[in-house]
Amino acid sequence: MNVHAAALAKAHRFDDRTSAFAHDVLEGLSQQPRRLSPKYFYDVAGSELFEQITLLPEYYPTRTELGILRDRGAEIANIVPAGAALVEFGAGSTTKVRLLLDQCNFGAYVPVDISGDFLNAQARALRCDFPALGVYPVTADFTAPFALPAAVKAMPKVGFFPGSTLGNFEPFEACGFLRSAREILGEGAQMIIGVDLEKDERVLYDAYNDAAGVTARFNLNVLVRINQELGGNFDLKAFTHRAIYNRERHRIEMHLISRKAQTMRVLGRSFSFRAGESIHTESSYKYSVGRFVALARGSGWKPTASWTDTGGMFSVHALVASE
Binding stretches for ligand AVJ (CB under 6 A): 53, 61, 163-165, 167-168, 208, 215, 282, 284
Please report how close the Cβ of residue 147 comes to ligand AVJ at its closest, in angstroms.
26
Please report how close the Cβ of residue 23 comes to ligand AVJ at its closest, in angstroms.
22
Nearer to ligand AVJ, 11 or 55 (CB): 55
* Rounded Cα gap, residues 130 and 136, in angstroms: 13
From the CB of residue 228, how many other CB atoms can be counted at a distance below 10 Å?
A: 11
Nearer to ligand AVJ, 242 or 302 (CB): 242
Query: Residue 186 is which amino acid?
Result: G
Q: Which helix (H) or strand (E) holds 123?
A: helix 116-129
Nearer to ligand AVJ, 15 or 170 (CB): 170
* Rounded Cα gap, residues 134 and 247, in angstroms: 44
Nearer to ligand AVJ, 168 or 190 (CB): 168
Please report how close the Cβ of residue 207 comes to ligand AVJ at its closest, in angstroms.
7
Q: List CB contacts of 131: < 8 A, sequence separation 6 or more.
A: none
Q: How many residues does the chain have?
A: 323
Nearer to ligand AVJ, 137 or 167 (CB): 167
Please report how close the Cβ of residue 273 comes to ligand AVJ at its closest, in angstroms.
22
Residue closest to ligand AVJ (Cβ): 284
Nearer to ligand AVJ, 75 or 170 (CB): 170
Nearer to ligand AVJ, 166 or 266 (CB): 166
Please report how close the Cβ of residue 106 comes to ligand AVJ at its closest, in angstroms.
24
317 CA to centre of own chain: 17
Q: What are phi and psi of 178, to 5 degrees?
A: -65, -40
Q: List CB contacts of 148: < 8 A, sequence separation 6 or more.
A: 85, 87, 110, 138, 157, 184, 185
Please report how close the Cβ of residue 22 comes to ligand AVJ at its closest, in angstroms.
23
Nearer to ligand AVJ, 61 or 137 (CB): 61
Query: Residue 80 is which amino acid?
Result: V
Please report how close the Cβ of residue 214 comes to ligand AVJ at its closest, in angstroms.
9
Q: List CB contacts of 8: < 8 A, sequence separation 6 or more.
A: 22, 267, 268
Please report how close the Cβ of residue 45 comes to ligand AVJ at its closest, in angstroms.
15
106: left (phi over 0), alpha (psi -120 to 50) or beta: beta
* Rounded Cα gap, residues 207 and 62, in angstroms: 11
From the CB of residue 61, how many other CB atoms can be counted at a distance below 10 Å?
A: 21
